[in-house]
Amino acid sequence: MNVVVSKASHKRDDGLVASPSERWKESISLPAYVNGDGRPRVKQEDHSLKHQIKGDNMHQPMILLVKSQTRMEAGTKAFKFLDRYYCNPWDGAETGGRFSGLLTGYDPTDDPTNWEICSLCDGTGFQVDLEGFRERDEDPSFTCSGCGYFDQGKDSWVHGSAGPGLCVKSPTEWKEVDDDIMPLSDERVRSAVTRFAQDWKAHRLRYIEQRSQFYISRNNRYMILSELRTRDAVLEDEFIEESMVFDTDKCSNALPDSFDGYWAVLMDLHL
């Protein structure tokens, strides 16, 4: 079932309060290449990207706030912090990943170093396999399903922004950029972090209350206890899997009173 979340009230169209992850999808200004569910997607002007970036629901973004003197030290501290929670519930993490640029607006799909030769047309821009012949029988303007896309405005197939024969690499192959580990002194980063953290605790507690009532009505004791444990963790301001921004120095989901000396480390967590 498709559920729509209101940005104003954070209510779903079925009457329930949106989960923290659902609210994140609606409240955060995502890069152009990321879907509301956190999956990389085709840009509106370039539908070819969907063939190179296969998204799924197994990734979650998180911003860790780290006290550090240097970018390298901040990244090291962030990974050491996550090591305490390995496999609970994620089994891997990397800086940036498919959410690369969320802190600053950098778009990795516009970076030529993240492009590669299209394997479907061998860099020619013209797909000649069985799929290519079949598609071209239906539409003679067909170019390549890897490096091309159908332009609704032109009512014709054209090549993507990278040009004929070039595609965007998998996010696991994108180059590492400084934009994913940034000092909080940067205004762009402060804005992104603030949006992430806004009213997180109050919203999380409302969500837990609704979920608890749902499980009570079904007498699901296991899930009732699970929600109560999560509620206690939120009230105690502990680090949990749904944390959006976490201050690793103060061990808190709240933003620090002062951003001096802090770095924001954007993580892509594999669930």
Q: What is the model's pLDDT at position 109?
A: 86
Q: If 0-12 CB within 10 Å is exposed, 13-18 middle and 19+ buried, where does residue 193 land?
A: buried
Q: What is the model's pLDDT at position 174?
A: 93
Q: What is the model's pLDDT at position 57?
A: 66
Radius of gyration for the chain, computed over Cα atoms and rounded to the nearest angstrom? 21
Q: What is the model's pLDDT at position 114?
A: 92
Task: Determine the angle formed by the axes of helices 20-27 and 200-217, rounding to 10 degrees.
Answer: 140
Ranges of the chain with pLDDT below 50:
1-30, 32-55
Say if CB 134 and CB 75 are below 8 A apart: no
Q: What is the model's pLDDT at position 8?
A: 41
Q: What is the model's pLDDT at position 87?
A: 62
- Residue 182 sits at φ, ψ, to 5 deg, of -130, 145
